[in-house]
Amino acid sequence: MGSAPAIDPKIFSAYDVRGIYPTDLNDDAAYQIGRAMVQYLRVQEVAVGRDMRMSSPALAAALINGITDQGADAIDLGLTTTDELYFAVGKFGYPAGVMVTASHNPGKYNGLKMCRADAVAISSETGGNAIRDIATSGNFIQPQHKGRVVTRDVTDDYVQHALSFVDVSKILPYKVAIDAGNGMAGMIIPRVFMHLPCTLVPMYFELDGSFPNHPASPIEPENTEELRRVVVEQHCDMGVAFDGDADRMFLISEKGQLLGGDMVTALVSENLLRRAPGSTILYNLICSRSVPEVIAANGGHAVRTRVGHSFIKAQMREYNAIFGGEHSGHFYFRDNWYADSGLIAFLIVLELVSQSGKTVSELLKPIDTRFRSGEVNSEVREQKAKIAELERYYSAQGAQIDYLDGITVSFPTWWANIRPSNTEPLLRLNVEADTRGEMEQKRDELLRLIRQS
């Protein structure tokens, strides 16, 4: 075979393929990755979904060409959310799937999220590096025949699947503002609300990969400012912001308050445990202490995990956990092939609020009692040495210390986690305390220790 066009190996990260189009990630790379995926996984079919980015049709077409040239059939799902792609792979028994998306990144970026059967995500350790090596080498085995392209729309099937997590007859006619950020939620949310008694206040539902209004990254508070204002001005019962590929969801209370992913984890847990008492629920170690308290108070078994979907999904399978939540707005469901779905999380909260007879902020009041710093990053070259220094400092003060992910130092009224970034020379700090004054004092003390050379 002739030599394949060069691929920049930097586009392969721990969890996906990501880069600026077409300088980092281009059609040639997508074609070769399609071939490499079929060759490595030895599959006969690959489901392909794509988001609304300007470059997604071209990348998806190149990817599909690579899949079929390597002898497998490509199931072209067209425009989908990422959670819809995972659903399709799980529900219809496809042996592999790829989503063309760069999630919450700006419009010039694009990427590929790959999974195998049962929607098991492919990370660098579980096949991503091998696919990278085949794609960059261009050493493809010539197949016996070319695969076919089969088009399929699974959106209505996915909507019905998401609605199956709740009893729609119990949902009250609330007014809900939803900011799709010109992302894929704009396609799926209207089809969900056709089945709900609620009034939808839509914001930026036009699919537009140039993101003309604001970045589709609701984890940054400035990107939900307008939604928070609309919720209050239009007397909505709640607001919801989705990211670009609509797999993450952020909730706004009727008072315009942005909830952390950990508080949403607590609310979802409360509702799920009503239906399945005694179940195991996972939460990552950045979540508030309130999360395991709520799980225990509702008769569940709480398990603390590292940050990152590959860890959570693996442990969910191990514990047969019904649900897992992260502070970052990722919510995973056992009955959704352990994949994350912001849509399912939203519906479960909507049902909880309906059945409780309380507002979102009334439900939050007894559980959201502590103060959190949010994640603060510091550039640190010698990460291990700095973590060891912090360990010595807080050990001398009598801290309980664990090493699940970086280090967590725990005291009766506050805790902090310091963990290294996987991809950059950064230390990430999260602090929680029972009072705002103590949280701010400990946050500033830790930042001083972290940043001093």
Q: How buried is residue 355: exposed, middle or buried, by Cβ count under 10 Å (0-12/13-18/19+)?
A: middle
3-state secondary structure of 210: coil
106 close to 54: Cβ distance less than 8 angstroms: no
Please tell me the distance from the alpha carbon of residue 252 to that of residue 263, in angstroms, as a whole number.
11
Mean pLDDT for the stretch of residues 277-281: 98
How far is the C-alpha of 300 from the C-alpha of 83, rounded, in Å? Answer: 26
Taking residue 377's Cβ as centre, other Cβ atoms within 10 Å add up to 12
**If pLDDT is split at 50, 70 and 90, which confidence band does 3 have?**
low
54, 49, 46: which is closest to 84 by C-alpha? 49
Locate tokens 């999380």: which residue? 345
Contact 305, 311 (CB under 8 A): yes
Neighbouring residues of 204: CB distance < 8 A, sequence distance ≥ 6 = 179, 180, 181, 182, 186, 213, 214
Question: Is 238 a residue whose pLDDT tops 90?
Answer: yes
pLDDT in tens, 178-231: 999 999 999 999 999 999 999 999 999 999 999 999 999 999 999 999 999 999
Residue 357 CA to residue 363 CA, distance in Å, equals 9
pLDDT at 2 over 50: no
Q: How far apart are CA 119 and CA 98, in angstroms?
A: 10
Q: In the prediction, which pLDDT does 423 show?
A: 73
Residue range 37-63: mean pLDDT, rounded = 98
From the candidates 55, 56, 103, 123, give the one annotated as an active-site residue. 103
Three-state DSSP class for 348?
helix
Delineate the domains of the chain, giving CATH numbers in brackets: 9-153 (3.40.120.10), 157-252 (3.40.120.10), 261-364 (3.40.120.10), 371-451 (3.30.310.50)
Confidence of residue 1 (pLDDT cuts 50, 70, 90): very low
| Counts of helices then strands in the chain (DSSP H, E) | 14, 21
CB-CB contact of 225 with 210 (8 Å): no
Average predicted confidence (pLDDT) for the chain: 96
CB–CB of 259/253 below 8 Å? Answer: yes
pLDDT value of position 194: 98
158, 92 contact by CB (below 8 A): no
pLDDT tens, 376-400? Answer: 999 999 999 999 999 999 999 999 9
DSSP β-bridge partners for residue 378: 427
Identify the H or E element spanning 362. helix 360-364
**Cα 356 from Cα 42, distance rounded (Å):** 50
User: SS3 of 3, please?
Assistant: coil
Mean pLDDT of 43-50: 98
Amino acid at 94: Y
Q: Could you report the per-residue pLDDT of 12-35, keeping only the tens digit for each? A: 998 899 999 999 999 999 999 999
Q: Provide the token pair at 396.
A: 């001398």
φ, ψ of residue 298 to 5 degrees: the values are -100, 15
121: enclosing H helix or E strand: strand 120-121
* Amino acid (one-letter) located at 129: N
Share of the chain above pLDDT 70, in %: 99
- Euclidean distance between CA atoms 251 and 262, whole angstroms: 11
> Does 90 score more than 80 pLDDT?
yes
Q: Alpha-carbon distance 322 to 200, whole Å?
A: 29
N- to C-terminal Cα separation, the chain: 53
Residue 378 a catalytic site member:
no
pLDDT of 118-131, one tens digit each? 999 999 999 999 99
- Structure tokens that stand for 334 in this block: 């056992």
